[in-house]
Amino acid sequence: MQNAQAPSRIGERDCSADSPVRDSASMLRLHANKALTGLLVHRALQIDRSHMSPNSGARRSVDGWIGVRNVVVHYTGMESAATALARLCDPAAEVSAHYLIEEDGRILGLVDETMRAWHAGRSYWRGLTDLNSVSIGIEIVNPGHEYGYRAFPDVQIESLAALLGDIVDRHALTPEDVIGHSDIAPGRKQDPGELFPWQYLATKGFGLWPSGPRSSSDVGIWPSLSTIGYAIPAGPGGDVLDPHTGPEDVIAAFQRRYRPDRVDGIADAETRGLIAAVAELARSGRSLATGWA
């Protein structure tokens, strides 16, 4: 599947139940803990804004949705961080993202979150197109499949987790709202790729991760994939997919994220079980968040 797909380098021209507090000492500890947490978050989030990109515009209303609904994670897919940064800030390239995270964990803020950055391209997720208008884009420095795909350093992922925590909190997002570029453009994009630690990030509350495949499902794989958010060829979102994108590409996109050790586009029993399990998580998460299934 991999060979048939285009490289994923940056290049998307625009087109509590709280515990009861029983006494004042507990209250003081609670306040102290909150203050400490805030301090730690602030310290972890040192954002370098010395490289602002001119490549952005006003966010648009998408099917009645205004504001940030998703975070889209990418890898840069270029030879070096410097090359990627130069491209993300080059007016002629017409590409950008809100943030860039270097392999040493440094976070650069390139576009203000109120603005529409140009990272997603032609895209669809959970009923909405134009993901640029409804998302925050984060580019993670990695050469990608074209220039020597390699593991993401721990320090880089910890910076990402800190940034995600801040974004998710400020925009009141849920775990399922954190997605990858390959999710919203199957067949066309592979980033952030099968080495990206989705399972680890899910333990921090970012992205869905099933405890294991379900042995059976009453719902077919295509309605389930649609429930999760994927565009379905000849179904919801299908008109946004590139013409050459087939069902196997959507299954491969799912596998790249949820079964990264075998990305073959074949809906075998394990893949079908995982699709059912993730769809169930998505349904129950929405149910908890909104009261709707």
Which residues does the annotation mark as catalytic? 139
Cα→Cα distances 50→11, 47, 53, 76, Å: 22, 9, 10, 19
Q: Would you say 196 and 150 are in contact if contact means Cβ atoms under 8 Å apart?
A: no
Which is closer to Zn ion, CB of 176 or CB of 191?
191
Which is closer to Zn ion, CB of 72 or CB of 281?
72
Collect all residues with Cβ–Cβ distance below 8 Å to 265 and sequence separation of at least 6. 1, 248, 249, 251, 252, 255
Which is closer to Zn ion, CB of 69 or CB of 74?
74
Length of the chain measured in residues? 293
Q: What span, in angstroms and rounded, lies between the C-alpha atoms of 123 and 76?
A: 18
CB of 273 to Zn ion, least distance (A): 28
Q: Letter for the amino acid at 121?
A: G
Question: Residue 180: helix, strand or coil by DSSP?
Answer: strand
Which residues make up the interface to Zn ion (CB under 5 A)? 74, 181, 191
Structure token digits, residue 39:
């301090």
Which is closer to Zn ion, CB of 189 or CB of 272?
189
Q: What span, in angstroms and rounded, lies between the C-alpha atoms of 9 and 148?
A: 12
CB of 181 to Zn ion, least distance (A): 3
Which is closer to Zn ion, CB of 64 or CB of 148?
148
Question: Residue 179: helix, strand or coil by DSSP?
Answer: strand
Q: Letter for the amino acid at 242?
A: D
Which is closer to Zn ion, CB of 192 or CB of 247?
192
| Nearest residue (beta carbon) to Zn ion | 74
Q: Give me the residue label for tokens 């392999």.
A: 103
End-to-end Cα, the chain, rounded Å: 33
CB of 10 to Zn ion, least distance (A): 6
Q: Greatest CA separation found in the chain?
A: 64
Q: What span, in angstroms and rounded, lies between the C-alpha atoms of 232 and 244?
A: 13
CB of 189 to Zn ion, least distance (A): 5
Rg (CA), the chain: 19
Structure token digits, residue 229:
């958010």
